[in-house]
Chain A
């Protein structure tokens, strides 16, 4: 029993490692990234240079998406999205409720999330956490397997409104993109607020 608990402890520690890891040194410019300025001047941040970007609006409001590479199985593409939630728009809930909703766990669907950590992003106090939930992939094609999808999520309140910055990827590759996600957050400029 003690051995099993010990295993869980180390597994949990390893799972938390990505967020606890030392950040890159200031002044260290990462090659292969570009400064992206949203055409609407909603925000600016550094993103990997090979990623395809476009801005659109859906039922929830404006969103900028960045499409990255496929996972090794070709079932899920890594992507970054930056959304702006504005009070009065459909789907808006207060930032704290949004964090609580996004972090909800569900045994039936095997959804789980990490604790919230706080980080200053573009002069605003962001709440960061990770969510994992399995999906049958590829979508609506056979044969399909359950694969965990990993989300890095940052809720960045600006007054009553907030940005939602999410990096979504297959869990098997999520650590490969952690640095890209953190770079986007560290260089994030909330121009629209």
Chain B
């Protein structure tokens, strides 16, 4: 049996990663080949940091194909962009990247063969189809297989075939690990950042180590997935942050091999005739400038003296620049609140936030003091949102509308039990959906409740027609307000390239806020049942929480996260392709958004129909109106401007996500260590 399934992962796969089983007698030869072909290795050769150029150092066809398959991009000037499209590959890195990709391809081929053999009746009883599948895989990967592996598969081929295949040279020996430089005395980005008190760790998914020896990886641990890279967050005006911040490369995320648009999503329609290439296209931003986002050095702000807390509001930021941060003490914020143009309720919520927020506190309070977003408790403006909504004004102002309660309607199930439907409180929301407000007493302001009931939603007003109205507590509202302030902050700082990263950060702030309140009050009873369930899931079952969050946010009716571009690498790849053919991509994007919005409206109307509160006539009229409405107004520019700005903001989004991850990690570690002590 040429290919033993029992030990294939160890005996065949291991050497291709590690080179550890390579015969010693080949080592001098391998060293000679390496010295001749690759010159000195990374860190030793002059110009190792310079961008690799395929015109100066051509790659083989197979290597070029491999790079392209793995989403690397070869530009016209010969430079090669990393898989996330963020920066050109360094000359010294290229041999290692090629080797890693080849290793991955080799492993994948062996796994595919393993699967075929696992499904078969045994290697001696392979069907013709199975045998041909294996032959095809082996042929395609022959150039990557070592002599030993090639021998294992010789029985699948005729002598004539083997004669031809053996003309393919054996793969070169694995590269050695580059010698590490002595870092003593050199203040690198990581060490500089780690000395800063406000430094945060950012998980940056990187390629697994190349040519790592078996001893390099812990025996029971998987290959390194993510190496947290410590970087300083941008624009933090702490004394340490006045040191020059390291230039951040965009987070490098290895692009997965599966990258298809989910089948359920409607395909983008063909570009309208108005957007044909014949139209003079506005020149897209220069690729080099677009694809290499670098975090701007933080604005040097002299921190206030400790004895004189800041009372004045920070200056509003100039358009296009990041707001400047100052340290906001509780006393300073209290002083600001005394004169701030906010109502009593909004001030109470802001005070709760100031006193109980740990994550992103300084940033959101700076934003409140500088941007003065309007904060309203207004179900009309909150619209179809259960808790809150951030509204951008055309004049650059922001409004945060908070809901103060929900309308509930219970329906009996077919056999037993009831199910609860949550409805918008505002007649305006129904009007926006093209429907009349249902004749529920809980929706009418002047209706008098039949009784007050205490239940999971707290004190709930019950009306004669069975409808209910429940109020949200100030604490629950404050958490929703905090989440909106984090979203506002990411928008003001242009950190919102990834809506998923923004949502993770906003919700991390919210849960940590509730956690602080619940700890001090020894109860989470101040939360409504839906928020309490989410909070407890975040606390007790975080893996399920994170899964459900993404799957809910990326669902069509929610629409917060675009499933085509969830992670930063996908955003980068999507935007890079769009910018390459911007006019056509813009038209296709408009069509895609239009179809998605229509589908979402259809789903909304189906949900209203399921409530049983609307006549078939009013639903038909609403459907007809929804079918006519466009998702967004016609574009002013033929090339969407947001793609270039998203590309520029990628690394900042990564920093924000990293901050949120670190904050959650610290909170969990603190909780676990407290539990151990108890």
Contact A74 B556 (CB under 8 A): yes
Q: Is B107 an interface residue, CB under 8 A from the partner?
A: yes
Within 8 A of B (CB), among A13-53: 26-29, 34-44, 46-47, 49-53
Cross-interface CB contact of B104 among A37, A60, A84, A187, cutoff 8 Å: A37
Contact A161 B119 (CB under 8 A): no
Given the interface pairs A41-B223, A146-B419, A161-B221, the reply to whether A67 lies near B665 with Cβ below 8 Å is no
B483 CB, nearest partner CB in chain A, Å: 10
Question: 0/1 per residue, A118-149, Cβ < 8 Å to B?
Answer: 00000000000000000111111111111001
Q: Tell me the complex Cα distance, A187–B117, Å.
A: 11
B117 CB, nearest partner CB in chain A, Å: 10
Within 8 A of A (CB), among B381-398: 384-387
B285 CB, nearest partner CB in chain A, Å: 26
Q: What total count of A-B pairs have CB within 8 Å?
A: 275
Question: 0/1 per residue, A58-94, Cβ < 8 Å to B?
Answer: 1111111111111101111111010110100011000
Q: Which of A51, A52, A57, A67 has the most CB of B within 10 A?
A: A52
B499 CB, nearest partner CB in chain A, Å: 13
Q: Is B30 an interface residue, CB under 8 A from the partner?
A: no
Cross-interface CB contact of B424 among A49, A52, A84, A143, cutoff 8 Å: A143
Q: Tell me the complex Cα distance, A71–B603, Å.
A: 11
Contact A138 B558 (CB under 8 A): yes
Chain A residues, Cβ within 8 Å of B606: 73
Within 8 A of A (CB), among B222-276: 222-226, 228, 253-264
Contact A101 B540 (CB under 8 A): yes
Contact A37 B107 (CB under 8 A): yes
Within 8 A of A (CB), among B549-608: 549-558, 563-564, 566-567, 569-570, 599-600, 603-604, 606-608
Within 8 A of A (CB), among B111-144: 111-112, 114-116, 118-121, 127, 130
Identity of the chain A residue whose Cβ is nearest the Cβ of B127 in the assembled complex = A27
Q: Is A6 an interface residue, CB under 8 A from the partner?
A: no
Contact A137 B262 (CB under 8 A): no
Question: 0/1 per residue, B477-517, Cβ < 8 Å to A?
Answer: 00000000000000000000000000010000000000000
Identity of the chain B residue whose Cβ is nearest the Cβ of A98 in the assembled complex = B543
Q: Is B346 an interface residue, CB under 8 A from the partner?
A: no
Q: Tell me the complex Cα distance, A47–B549, Å.
A: 21
Contact B127 A55 (CB under 8 A): no
Q: Is B172 an interface residue, CB under 8 A from the partner?
A: no
Contact B119 A29 (CB under 8 A): yes
Chain B residues, Cβ within 8 Å of A59: 542, 661-662, 664-665, 668
Q: Which of B225, B261, B423 has the most CB of A within 10 A?
A: B225
Q: Tell me the complex Cα distance, A60–B152, Å.
A: 41
Cross-interface CB contact of B423 among A38, A53, A91, A143, cutoff 8 Å: A143
Question: 0/1 per residue, B517-550, Cβ < 8 Å to A?
Answer: 0000000000000100100000011111011111
Chain B positions near chain A (C-beta within 8 angstroms): 9, 13, 17, 104, 107-108, 111-112, 114-116, 118-121, 127, 130, 203, 205, 207-208, 220-226, 228, 253-264, 384-387, 406, 419-424, 429, 456, 504, 530, 533, 540-544, 546-558, 563-564, 566-567, 569-570, 599-600, 603-604, 606-608, 610-611, 661-662, 664-665, 668-669, 672
Q: A41-B107, A138-B552, A140-B386 are in contact. List 4 more A-B contacts (CB 8 A).
A: A86-B221, A138-B558, A146-B420, A149-B548
A-B contact pairs, 27 of them (CB 8 A): A27-B127, A27-B130, A37-B111, A37-B257, A39-B104, A39-B254, A40-B205, A40-B224, A41-B17, A41-B222, A50-B263, A55-B225, A57-B203, A59-B661, A64-B256, A69-B263, A69-B264, A73-B606, A79-B550, A90-B668, A135-B533, A135-B548, A138-B558, A141-B558, A158-B220, A166-B543, A192-B221
A-B complex: 9 closest residue pairs judged by Cβ atoms: A192-B222, A39-B254, A69-B264, A62-B225, A57-B226, A139-B552, A90-B668, A74-B556, A40-B225
